[in-house]
Amino acid sequence: MRIRRTTLSLWLPMALAIAWSGRASADMLLAVEGSLAWQSRNEARIPGAGGTRFSIADLAKGPAADYRVYLGYKIAERHELRALYAPFGVEVDGRLAEPVDFAGSSFATGADTQAFYRFNSYRLTYAYHLDPVGDWRFAFGFTAKIRDAEIRLRQGPLEASKKNLGFVPLLNFQAANEFAEDWTFRFDLDGLMAPQGRAFDGALFLERRLAYFGAAHAFSVFGGYRTIEGGANNDEVFNFAWIHKLVFGLRGDF
C-alpha cells in the first residue's frame, strides 16, 4: 500500500509564524497528527445506478501512513475557530474477485489491478466552549468541510476514475478532562447524517504536557485512536468507507 503525500513545506512554516505571534495567553493552537491507517470497509459503485459494487478494502486493508494539521484560535475564552488540513490517499494492488463495470469501463478478473482512493478534507470549525462541569470541559459547534475525493481503477493501459469536490456541513463536539497534573483526556467529533449519506470523524486521545513556556504556553504529546466513517449513495456515486487510525502527535498552545 502506497500513500500519496502532500508537502507541508509551505503550509507549516506559515502556521508556525501565525502561532508564535499570539498574545501572552494561550490563544493559539497548533497540532500535527500522524497515524497508521487501516480500512475495514471501502465499497464503491460508479455510477451509483448501473455500476458494479466492489471493495477496495478487499485488495488491501493496510496499514498506511498519513497525517493532518490543525491550527486554532480562541477568542475571549469561549469562542474558537479551528482550521484542519487532512490529506488522505491510498493506492492498493490486487485482483478483482469479479468483473467490474466502473465509470464507463469494464475491468476483468485475473488481471493485476491498481485501485486508488483519495479523500482529502479541508475544514473550518467554530466551537463555543461551555462552563466547566466538574473536571470536564465541553464545546459545541459547526464545521464547514470541503471534500476532495477520487476513486480510480487501472488495469494496464485501461484506466477510469470518478472525482468529486463538494461541501459538507457537520456538527462539532469536544470534551476534555484534565484528570491528573499534566495529563488530559480528549474526545473530538465532527459528524452528521442525512438522507444523501453520512460523515463521522471521531478521536479519543490521551495527552501529556511536557514543557511550559511562560504561564500559559505549553508543549504536549498525544496518542490514541481515530475513526472515520461515512459515504454517499445516489445515482452518480455509491461509496462507503470505514477507516481506523492509530494516532500520535504534537500539540502547542501559544
CATH of the domain at 75: 2.40.160.20
Cα–Cα distance, 125 to 83 (Å, whole number): 6
Contacts of 58 (CB under 8 A, 6+ apart): 94, 97
Give the three-state DSSP class for 78.
coil
Average pLDDT for 194-215: 90
Q: Letter for the amino acid at 112?
A: D
Cα–Cα distance, 24 to 5 (Å, whole number): 35
Beta bridge partners of 56: none
The reply to whether omega before 99 is within 30° of 0 (cis) is no
Parallel, antiparallel, or unpaired for β 64-75 and 136-155? unpaired
Residue 252: closest CA among 203, 200, 211, 205? 211
Cα–Cα distance, 20 to 253 (Å, whole number): 10
Structure confidence at residue 196 as a pLDDT band (50, 70, 90): confident
Structure confidence at residue 205 as a pLDDT band (50, 70, 90): very high
Least confident of 57-66, 101-110, 111-120, 163-172: 57-66
Whether pLDDT at 10 is above 70: no
What is the model's pLDDT at position 111?
92
Structure confidence at residue 27 as a pLDDT band (50, 70, 90): confident
Sequence-distant contacts of 152-156: CB under 8 A, at least 24 apart: 152/114, 152/115, 152/116, 153/100, 153/102, 153/103, 153/105, 153/107, 153/113, 153/114, 153/115, 153/116, 154/113, 154/114, 154/115, 154/116, 155/107, 155/108, 155/111, 155/112, 155/113, 155/114, 156/111, 156/112
Whether pLDDT at 109 is above 90: yes
Q: Please check whether residue 152 is in contact with residue 161, taking contact to mean a CB–CB distance below 8 angstroms.
A: yes
Percent of the chain residues past pLDDT 70, beyond the cut: 89
Q: Please check whether residue 3 is in contact with residue 89, taking contact to mean a CB–CB distance below 8 angstroms.
A: yes
What is the model's pLDDT at position 2?
41
Structure confidence at residue 127 as a pLDDT band (50, 70, 90): very high
| pTM given for the model | 0.86
Q: pLDDT tens, 222-232? A: 999 999 999 99
Cα–Cα distance, 204 to 189 (Å, whole number): 9
Structure confidence at residue 62 as a pLDDT band (50, 70, 90): confident
What is the model's pLDDT at position 163?
95
Structure confidence at residue 6 as a pLDDT band (50, 70, 90): very low
Cell numbers standing for residue 19: 502561532
Whether pLDDT at 8 is above 90: no
Question: What range defines the domain where residue 224 resides?
Answer: 2-253
What is the model's pLDDT at position 70?
97
Least confident of 80-84, 110-114, 167-171, 242-246: 110-114
Per the structure, how many domains does the chain have?
1
Least confident of 2-11, 127-136, 190-199: 2-11
- The rounded mean pLDDT for the chain is 89
What is the model's pLDDT at position 26?
59
